[in-house]
Structure 1
Amino acid sequence: MKNAKSLYHCHRFPAAVIGCAVRWYFRFWLSLRDIEELLFERGVIVSYETVRRGCDKSGVCFAHRVKATRRKPGTTWHLDEVFVTLRGEPYLLWRAVDQHGAELDILLQKRRDKAAAKRAFTRVIASCGEAPRRIVTDQLRSYPAAKAEIHELAHVKHVFVKASARVSKRAENSHQPTRERERRMRGFRDPERTQACLSNFGPIRQHFALKRHLLLASLHRKQLAARFAAWNRFTEATQIPSVF
């Protein structure tokens, strides 16, 4: 039986460099040229286009590994949609989070009708593997119409809230990191690249984004060290690179 090829087969840079570049891009509000400069400071000469290709290829794998090891999703799903503009055209970014704020899935679509809501529901169910006990949405009529046609959600409790209601803030706040990423990239452009980028952005960012205001400094450092150790396993790196 042949051994499986390494994730970095035929790559010029080692796992520590690629893993660090991907983490910087999806964790912080850095551009590709920012990462190029940071790597150059550490003695790694690489173009921003190489960084982009590395983030596109390796980011998918790393995001899947992060999602596979995180805790089981909560039993309450908050769904919300937000408008984004791609080259002057309006799109809807559908996002689902649980009651803990963990992003379950996102889907970029052109419309806001029943078919679009049904695709969003189906995608989240496939990602989580099971249906929730309760769904919280705004008063968009596409949600109940789509829910009625999905067998797994037929008997799930559906709570409707106004956009200004406190219970909807969980979904509303989940859009803020995406808005920051959008501003840093000076707007999204291609629908397929936007979907791929944001699908990787959510899990990787949340892997390191601990609720620091709720933790003691010592506990925060301990948990962050554990997240870095897990990231090294995901990226197959031997250690956290400080200086390359």
Structure 2
Amino acid sequence: MIRVKLHWLWRAVDQDGYILDEILQTRRNTEAARRLLTRLLKRQGVRPARMITDKLKFYRAARRQMCLSIRHLSHKGLNNRAENSHLPLRKREHIMQKFRSPGGCQRFVSVFSAIRNLSGTSASITTAFSRHIHRIRAFAQWSSATALSV
């Protein structure tokens, strides 16, 4: 809820937990679901083999409107990866004492997700040494990206 108006954060997450796209919208209907799917397909460039969502009926309607032949699964436990990816953002939102405006929230979410994708580890990395190497590479990328912007 931002300034007494309810907003929905639509999020697409891949099988490794990386956040692909996020949109903050005031509606939770077919048009909003279609907007997320359209943005996601444009950014990714390729169509996914399957799409796992919660049981919201608007995903099915949006997929039908767009004539997508993607295998669509909606089951209570299948979208746990996407639901759990909200937790770090919600913790940060609590620390910041909520968001003041929708635009500020959208900007924060996109930057927060990009940094989280860079520094977070994949589910396929299992050893401590691999995680350590991944973290060193992430900090090196972050250093080079911030040095270019100065």
**TM-score normalised by length of structure 2:** 0.89
Task: Report the RMSD for the aligned CA atoms in angstroms.
Answer: 1.8
Is 1:121 matched with 2:32?
no
Which residue does the alignment assign to 2:75? 161
Q: SS of the residue aligned with 2:7?
A: strand
Could you tell me how far 1:230 is from its partner in structure 2? 1.7
Query: Displaced runs of 4+ in structure 1, greater than 6 A?
Result: none
- Asked if the contact 2:55–2:74 (Cα under 8 Å) also holds between the matched residues in 1, the reply is yes
Distance in 1 of aligned mates of 2:133 and 2:29: 46
Pairs within 5 Å for 1:14-163: 85-151=1-67, 154-162=68-76
Which residue does the alignment assign to 1:215? 127
Q: SS of the residue aligned with 1:198?
A: helix
Which residue does the alignment assign to 1:234? 145
The 1:211/1:123 distance shift into structure 2, 3 A limit, reads closer
Distance in 1 of aligned mates of 2:16 and 2:121: 12
Match of 2:119, as an amino acid? F
Percent identical among aligned pairs is: 37
Q: SS of the residue aligned with 2:69?
A: coil
**Structure 1: segments with no counterpart, 5+ residues:** 1-84, 238-244
Could you tell me how far 1:211 is from its partner in structure 2? 5.5
Higher alpha-carbon Rg: 1
- Asked if the contact 2:51–2:71 (Cα under 8 Å) also holds between the matched residues in 1, the reply is yes
Which residue does the alignment assign to 1:183? 94
Is 1:225 matched with 2:133?
no
Could you tell me how far 1:220 is from its partner in structure 2? 2.9
Could you tell me how far 1:132 is from its partner in structure 2? 0.5
**Structure 2: segments with no counterpart, 5+ residues:** none
Match of 1:97, as an amino acid? V
